[in-house]
Structure 1
């Protein structure tokens, strides 16, 4: 922060960072702070330096200031490194006080590390934050000795840490640090929602015996419940080796998860705020911060609902789930219907995020890149369907997803990595589709490399690694029987693909049955026309930076203030 006299002072930089952070990040979805309490501490200069630096590092990503635009990542890393050094080197950094600022700083730094590909650093910081939160007993109801603002902050901080912990564990063999059974405090509520919300624990909200769709747990609480079910989904289909439970049985964990998702979806619909249609959102100055935050959690909850379904019934993961089971009692239409529903959820997930962005409700969490990737791998598998409707629909969804990832890649390094992984994966899908989309999937015919690729594109942790198998194969031009990538282009009409069968506004439920997803049958059995050639994707323009060039045509820009109010133009 040492600079010439014309540069902003450290206090000016911090206060500007606070404005940016609370506008673009707070409760979207992580509520690491209580805004009122934080403002009080900032006014009294009571925010410790390690947290000030971590917050500046986080806010820099969203800043449109010219002095940061060209060296944004190096600025982020510089502030983050100083914050981390203060925490581990300071005498008071890891003391035994009730101060939660170290947890807040560690959570912010973990997101920075994870999205920059520094996975080990992120894992360590999340682990430290969880352990310190447990040491401070944040998983229990806050003591009455704290003020009401402090109690609200500690509650939201713990549950935000819970979200972060579950997100980074969307992976094979990477168990979360926080157990559901240890979470005994009530879920956060939105006191400014205009509705009386119910105080309840995670356990009581998910209790099968006491379900009530008229409950008002609030959008934040519903998001937490859906993340809990997502964690169970990951364990059920990605981290249960040699499990002999048959997913089509009514008492299986697979069916219980499905039931929980449908219940939580109904709660989410009943609790959701009223949205404007794309291009008709209220002016930014009329949209209060609490409205944006509730909408952010609404978008998150519906995204998590579709993501859980996509993982639960992904053709590859479903094949893994049933490969060692006797299918003699499997209902004949079960596998086909499950795959059909999975394709519908994949399209709905993409629609939710793309339409939320188009309506001005900017979805910014980096985990959305992973959500888009998972959904898009499903559509990549159906590029080769002989049903022309399915093939064309999947191609459009793929290009829409690549456009979305390209646009947010200036914000998140891992979005660019996932865009490139998706392109590479889509170009290898002829063989995957032929082996997986059958009445009896042929997993044994997959090579070691092919299996590694299929696992990697569904593994959030792997997709944070710039050296994961998908990129290695792309660099080698094919391996273990994978074909070299052909050099085939496509016309300009593909650059702005429509989203097929999208309802007006943000599509929250499953609204795409008319797209031909039902009754897919075994791949290759339908002959309704010429399918889309997936090789068109090789020329899809996924740039290193956002394609939104500045007016002078030089440096790319991500002007958040303009983006958020673009619908008023």
Structure 2
């Protein structure tokens, strides 16, 4: 294959590439990353203008969602082979890194970064994200695109940059790992939002958070709200994991309180501007092309998830313990600590429920970052599993069973989901001591050993959770871990299935209020339930993407 050649001419179609394009735009586009403008991309395909490195990256990404029998048993090796070829072309050929205005090199790097991150190749992912961001900045993509560009290209550049922003913020949910993109330099408008076929006025990220115009600012689409919540998530991570502040978190003037206010504002936007979902049983429009409503719904689920994730990090008992320890010179109100713990439980339960319901309802695929979100929420319930309050302990056990089931099924898609599932199991076993220290009337952080502090940091660190060698597995053998985990969760209801119609998933709004969940952020999903099919040898289930595509049209 000659790297200098573009896509084959329409008279000799590349069947594999065209199939990969169809799969990618059904399953990946704007879910959540909008690396392409679909119309513009298909024009490039027809005109033979898609370079080889991008074609190979797309095939690598699409392979994960293909049900081709010849790929089912060797998906990861197939993905890695295509991705490696794409990367070699980028690094060894002159044209891709030339001084031109093409964005295809950024698109390839972003796709390859996702592939590396989910396979546990952390440094490779970090390098590719960094390269993509720097090239985007070299093309001034953090500024509003010039009017000399066609509208489709302006939309693509805008959405591509904000997708890089999301990716950058997700991988930087970590201690001492700063993002590559600074909010202050993001001067372009948020992703374009259309309603009823009409393009609505856009606003910038700074305008989204400008308190002076909040009541009169134009309506923002769900993609833009996702970006705003990712910005809040980045601020939350910086404040709770990487930055000390003179004001204690309970001070009304602290960054903690400012983040909290911004999160609640964005939650209201997400609820108010979310797509109107069809009632169960109503017919839905059938189409072979990507469904804009489904893409909006994907960003709605992402927005709700990021809202709860930011609150989980903001109120996590371990991180709060570190903040309290650093603010000893101030008098901490005990009522504030109790309220924070209650908030952490509420948001952890809501996050788990949103993701389990979304998966059960068929909003596929599930982005790999959701496994990290599920892990963070689950660590809170793992701590409260050993609460002296029986109802709290029982509720946490139920949530943990839902989380473990979710992560087990996601392991069929993402290697890092298996790492997080194993880490959660190990963490649950080690939690009695952590709970005893963290859930006291005043946490005693000095009682932790350095190894214990490393474990508690690791389960909240996305970067660590992409590494199979993370310290969470340190002190517990797999045999003891299995036995103790069964013991820890024994005595409660049987594990829930997200499709079973039992337990938390079937609660009414009033019941969810009593359970501590925020009913405003919960959504009603109209699509039919879909689940993995069982393999022929009764082993691990495998996702049947072809059948799922049929289900989406029903």
State whether TM-score is above 0.5.
yes
Q: 1:10 to 1:554 in 2, by over 3 A?
A: farther
Other-structure match for 2:57:
54
Other-structure match for 1:515:
515
Q: What stretches of structure 1 move > 6 A for 4+ residues in a row?
A: none
Other-structure match for 1:459:
461
Once the two structures are superposed, the pairs formed by residues 114-133 of structure 1 within 5 Å of their partners are 114-133=117-136
For residues 147 and 195 of structure 1, what CA distance do their matches in structure 2 show? 17
RMSD over aligned CA atoms reads 2.8
Question: Which stretch has the larger CA shift, 348-357 or 258-267?
Answer: 348-357
Q: 1:324-375 deviations in whole A, cap 9, x for unaligned?
A: 2136533331100111011000000011111111222225210000000000
Q: Secondary structure at the match of 2:303?
A: helix
For residues 196 and 235 of structure 2, what CA distance do their matches in structure 1 show? 29
Q: 1:525-551 deviations in whole A, cap 9, x for unaligned?
A: xxxxxxxxxxxxxxxxxxxxx974135
For residues 504 and 490 of structure 1, what CA distance do their matches in structure 2 show? 23
Q: Answer whether contact 2:407 2:421 (CA < 8 A) is retained.
A: yes
Q: Answer whether contact 1:220 1:297 (CA < 8 A) is retained.
A: yes
For residues 206 and 516 of structure 2, what CA distance do their matches in structure 1 show? 38
Q: 1:475 to 1:102 in 2, by over 3 A?
A: farther
CA deviation after TM superposition for structure 1 residue 245, in Å: 1.7
Other-structure match for 1:39:
42
Other-structure match for 1:557:
542
CA deviation after TM superposition for structure 1 residue 281, in Å: 7.5
Other-structure match for 2:185:
182
Counterpart pick for 1:313 among 301, 306, 315:
315
Q: Answer whether contact 1:115 1:366 (CA < 8 A) is retained.
A: yes
Unaligned stretches of 5+ residues in structure 2:
3-11, 519-530
CA deviation after TM superposition for structure 1 residue 560, in Å: 2.1
Once the two structures are superposed, the pairs formed by residues 124-523 of structure 1 within 5 Å of their partners are 124-192=127-195, 197-212=200-215, 215-241=218-244, 243-276=245-278, 283=284, 285=286, 289-326=291-328, 328-475=330-477, 485=484, 488=487, 494-496=494-496, 500-502=503-505, 512-515=512-515
Q: Answer whether contact 2:378 2:424 (CA < 8 A) is retained.
A: yes
Counterpart pick for 2:74 among 66, 71, 76:
71
Counterpart pick for 1:99 among 94, 97, 102:
102
Q: TM-score, normalising length from structure 2? A: 0.89
Q: Answer whether contact 2:346 2:517 (CA < 8 A) is retained.
A: yes
Q: 1:489-531 deviations in whole A, cap 9, x for unaligned?
A: 95996233577444679x9xx984412689xxxxxxxxxxxxx
Q: Secondary structure at the match of 1:285?
A: coil
Q: Secondary structure at the match of 2:311?
A: helix
CA deviation after TM superposition for structure 1 residue 408, in Å: 1.4
For residues 540 and 381 of structure 2, what CA distance do their matches in structure 1 show? 33
CA deviation after TM superposition for structure 1 residue 567, in Å: 7.9
Q: Secondary structure at the match of 1:105?
A: helix
CA deviation after TM superposition for structure 1 residue 568, in Å: 8.4
Q: 1:281 to 1:229 in 2, by over 3 A?
A: farther
Other-structure match for 2:85:
82
Q: Answer whether contact 1:280 1:567 (CA < 8 A) is retained.
A: no
Q: 1:377-436 deviations in whole A, cap 9, x for unaligned?
A: 000001011222111111111010111111111110001110111111011110000000
CA deviation after TM superposition for structure 1 residue 77, in Å: 0.1
Q: 1:473 to 1:25 in 2, by over 3 A?
A: same
Question: Which stretch has the larger CA shift, 319-328 or 259-268?
Answer: 319-328
Q: Secondary structure at the match of 2:96?
A: coil
For residues 220 and 369 of structure 1, what CA distance do their matches in structure 2 show? 20
For residues 178 and 222 of structure 1, what CA distance do their matches in structure 2 show? 18
For residues 198 and 183 of structure 2, what CA distance do their matches in structure 1 show? 27
Q: 1:96-143 deviations in whole A, cap 9, x for unaligned?
A: 100000000000000000110100000000000000000000011111
For residues 331 and 211 of structure 1, what CA distance do their matches in structure 2 show? 32
Question: Which stretch has the larger CA shift, 146-155 or 287-296?
Answer: 287-296
Q: Answer whether contact 2:398 2:492 (CA < 8 A) is retained.
A: no
For residues 16 and 483 of structure 1, what CA distance do their matches in structure 2 show? 42
Question: Which stretch has the larger CA shift, 430-439 or 267-276?
Answer: 267-276
For residues 219 and 487 of structure 1, what CA distance do their matches in structure 2 show? 40
Q: Answer whether contact 1:501 1:514 (CA < 8 A) is retained.
A: no
For residues 225 and 507 of structure 2, what CA distance do their matches in structure 1 show? 24
Unaligned stretches of 5+ residues in structure 1:
3-8, 519-545
Question: Which stretch has the larger CA shift, 13-22 or 212-221?
Answer: 212-221
Q: Answer whether contact 1:28 1:365 (CA < 8 A) is retained.
A: yes
Q: Answer whether contact 1:283 1:565 (CA < 8 A) is retained.
A: no
Counterpart pick for 1:109 among 108, 112, 120:
112
Q: Answer whether contact 2:35 2:107 (CA < 8 A) is retained.
A: yes
